[in-house]
């Protein structure tokens, strides 16, 4: 009887060990399946492509809004903010373009491409209203801003830029959560931080 008990005990230990090895193997499989979403310095994923493509267009519209401040009578703080946006976002457009080119992805047209070419902006409304690019103004919005009286322009510009920035922050946070390419994730963090600060500044200027 003692021999039988010993045999059964050894068998139980063998089964337990086998189960433990099987569980460990499964655990390793799970780890490898999620490794592709980890941030790396060399690889990119679809979220990175979407971030670069959409933010490029988003930034381009912000710069078009900054362009509309030229020749306007603005408070010095607003003029400084507009220049701050230009200095920050123009180089980032080049970064997004370089990434998309390096990744062999299409570089999208922007409102500035069409504006500089003298094209009708109405055909850009589809992309400007893309739900993946929150905060984008329509061509009607941009036209209303351009045509606004000097007495209304500054307030309208600030209100629109607040909405635009909040959309950019939302896009940046999505990239922080879903992106893989380290430089893109890092830039998303910088954008979220800087544009959140600018929103606070603009709200103060609006008195809200």
**pLDDT tier at 6, thresholds 50, 70, 90:** very low
For residues 21 and 76, membership in a common domain is answered with no
Pick from 133, 160, 125, 135: nearest CA to 145: 160
For residues 48 and 108, membership in a common domain is answered with yes
For residues 160 and 68, membership in a common domain is answered with yes
What does the alpha-carbon distance between residue 117 and residue 124 come to, in Å, rounded to a whole number?
13
- Model confidence pLDDT, tens digit, residues 99-146: 999 999 999 999 877 554 443 445 545 445 566 799 999 999 999 999
What does the alpha-carbon distance between residue 127 and residue 124 come to, in Å, rounded to a whole number?
6
For residues 57 and 11, membership in a common domain is answered with no
What does the alpha-carbon distance between residue 13 and residue 24 come to, in Å, rounded to a whole number?
16
**Residue predicted with more confidence, 3 or 187:** 187
Q: Residue 137 is encoded by which pair of tokens? A: 């103004």
Percentage, residues of the chain above pLDDT 70: 74
For residues 130 and 58, membership in a common domain is answered with yes
For residues 96 and 119, membership in a common domain is answered with yes
For residues 169 and 76, membership in a common domain is answered with yes
- For position 4, what pLDDT does the model report? 46
For residues 105 and 18, membership in a common domain is answered with no
Q: Which residues contact 66 (CB under 8 A, 6 or more apart)?
A: 82, 83, 85, 86
Q: Which residues contact 88 (CB under 8 A, 6 or more apart)?
A: 194
- Model confidence pLDDT, tens digit, residues 144-195: 999 999 999 999 999 999 999 999 999 999 999 999 999 999 999 999 999 9
For residues 131 and 154, membership in a common domain is answered with yes
Examine the pLDDT at 65 and tell me if it is beyond 80.
Answer: yes
- For position 129, what pLDDT does the model report? 55
**Residue predicted with more confidence, 60 or 123:** 60
For residues 189 and 90, membership in a common domain is answered with yes
**Mean pLDDT, the chain, whole residue set:** 83
Q: Residue 166 is encoded by which pair of tokens? A: 């909040």
- For position 18, what pLDDT does the model report? 44
Number of domains in the chain: 2
Examine the pLDDT at 200 and tell me if it is beyond 80.
Answer: yes
Look up the CATH number of the domain holding residue 64.
1.20.1260.10
For residues 70 and 20, membership in a common domain is answered with no
**pLDDT tier at 208, thresholds 50, 70, 90:** confident
What does the alpha-carbon distance between residue 35 and residue 57 come to, in Å, rounded to a whole number?
30
Examine the pLDDT at 10 and tell me if it is beyond 50.
Answer: no
- For position 112, what pLDDT does the model report? 75
Q: Which residues contact 49 (CB under 8 A, 6 or more apart)?
A: 100, 103, 105
**Tally of residues, the chain:** 208
Pick from 113, 112, 109: nearest CA to 126: 109
Domain that holds residue 110: 42-206
Question: 71-106 b/e with 16+ CB inside 10 Å = b?
Answer: eeebeeebeebbeebeebbeebbebbbebbeeeeee
For residues 9 and 104, membership in a common domain is answered with no
Examine the pLDDT at 76 and tell me if it is beyond 70.
Answer: yes
């Amino acid at each position: 009887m003692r021999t039988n008990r010993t045999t059964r005990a050894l068998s139980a230990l063998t089964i337990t060990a086998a189960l433990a090895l099987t569980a460990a193997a499964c655990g390793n499989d799970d780890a490898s399946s999620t490794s592709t979403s980890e941030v790396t310095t060399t690889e990119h994923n679809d979220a990175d492509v979407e971030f670069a493509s959409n933010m490029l267009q988003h930034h381009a519209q912000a710069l078009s809004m900054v362009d509309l401040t030229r020749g306007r009578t603005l408070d010095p703080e607003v003029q400084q903010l507009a220049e701050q946006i230009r200095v920050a976002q123009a180089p980032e457009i080049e970064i997004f373009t370089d990434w998309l080119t390096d990744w062999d992805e299409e570089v999208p047209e922007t409102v500035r491409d069409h504006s500089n070419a003298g094209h009708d902006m109405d055909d850009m409304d589809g992309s400007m209203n893309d739900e993946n690019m929150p905060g984008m103004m329509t061509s009607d919005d941009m036209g209303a801003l351009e045509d606004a009286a000097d007495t209304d322009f500054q307030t309208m510009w600030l209100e629109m830029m607040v909405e635009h920035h909040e959309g950019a922050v939302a896009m940046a946070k999505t990239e922080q959560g879903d992106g893989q390419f380290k430089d893109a994730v890092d830039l998303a963090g910088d954008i979220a931080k800087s544009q959140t600060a600018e929103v606070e500044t603009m709200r103060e200027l609006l008195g809200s």
